[in-house]
Chain A
Amino acid sequence: MTCREAAILLSRFVDGELDSRQMRAVALHSACCGVCETEVRQLERIQQLLSDSVNATLDTVDFGDFWQRVERRMVTTRVSPWQRVLVWWSQVDRGWAIRIPAYATAAAVAVTAAMYGVRFLEPYASTVPTAIADLSTQALIHKLEADVEAVTVINDADTTVLWVSDELSGAGE
C-alpha cells in the first residue's frame, strides 16, 4: 500500500470502519511509515478532543427539570362522557354484525393451530443444546463475519467462545 492509498483510508481507519483486509493493510503500512503514523495519531487526537469536548459540555448541562418543563407545556383537554359516547358512535363500523362471527371463527382456528404447533415443536426444541446461540450470558455479539467454514458461538456460564471450524486454517504449518 502506498501513502496515497493509505491517506484516503486513514480517517475511516481511526473510526474502525474499514473492513478487516483494509484495516490490516493500513495498520501494516502505518507501522512502517512515519508520515502516515503521524497522521493517524493526529486524527486520533482530534477524535479524542472532540469527544472530550462534547462530553465535558454535556456534563455541565442540567437535565434535572427537563421533563417537568415538558409536562408544563403539555395541554390536557377535558372531554365529557357524553361527548365520548358521541365520538365512539360516529366512528363505529356498522359492519360489525357480519364481521364478528368471521373474526371469531378465524381466531378459533388460529388458537387451535397454535396449540397443535406447540405440541409438535416441543420435542425438537428440547434437542437444541442450551449452551449454543444464547448470546446474553456474557459477550453480546453485534456483528459476526467470517471467511471460514463455520463459526460456532458457545456460551458457558462465565465465558463466551467463538469456535472457528476451517480445514484451510493453519494448513501451511
Chain B
Amino acid sequence: MHAPMMLGGLVMLGLSGVAWAQESPTVTSTAPRPKAVEVRIGVVLASNTSKDFDPRLVAFRQQFNTLFPYSSYRLVKEARQQVPWGGRIGFDIPGGRYLMVIPKGFRNDRVTMKVVLIEGTRPIVDTALSLKNHGTLLVGGPRGADGVLILSIGADKLE
C-alpha cells in the first residue's frame, strides 16, 4: 500500500472512531482518560535566616548546597497529581503566583512538558522542555518571605 493511502486510511479510521465515540453515550459516560504521568511539585523557601534544613528535602541536600548560596531550606508546599497526556496541573505558589504544568508526551525516556509560571498577570517563565523520566527540574529565583522560592517539578511516567 502506498504511504499516502495508508496515512489517509489511518486518519479516516481515527476520525470514524471519534465519530462513533461521540454518537455512543455509553462511551462518554464511562472510561475516564487513563492517567499517564505523575507530576510532583514542591515549593521550597531558601534563605539565610537560619541553618535549618527540612528533613523532607534530604534528597536535594547535595544539589542545594552545591547550586545555591543559602543556608536554610524549608518545604512550604507539596503536591502530587496523576494526569493524562495533555492534561493540566495548576498550582498556586505563595506570593500570588501560579504554576501550570502540561505533560505532552513521552519519548526516549523523557517526559515532554510545558511549564508556565505566572505572577499576577505576568508570565515570568514560559518553557517547553523534555525532562528525564523520574527527573526533577528546579525553577528558582522568585522572592518569598525572607528568601527566595525554589520550585521542584518532577515527572514519573506511569506504567
Contact = CB atoms under 8 A, between A and B. Distances in A.
B67 A156 contact: yes
Interface residues of A, number: 53
Interface in B67-119: 67, 84-88, 90, 95-96, 98, 100, 102, 104, 110, 112, 114, 116-119
A44 B28 CA distance: 11
A49 interface: yes
A10 to B, nearest CB: 13
Interface string A146-167: 1110010010101111111110
A138 B131 contact: yes
Interface stretch (A15-23, A75-83, A107-115): A15-23
A140 B129 contact: yes
Contact of A23 (B10, B21, B67, B116): B116
B126 A20 contact: yes
B8 interface: no
Given A47-B86, A57-B13, A147-B122, A158 B127 contact: no
18 contacts: A16-B102, A19-B123, A20-B100, A20-B116, A21-B121, A45-B21, A46-B22, A48-B33, A49-B17, A138-B135, A139-B137, A140-B130, A156-B67, A159-B136, A160-B137, A161-B140, A166-B142, A172-B96
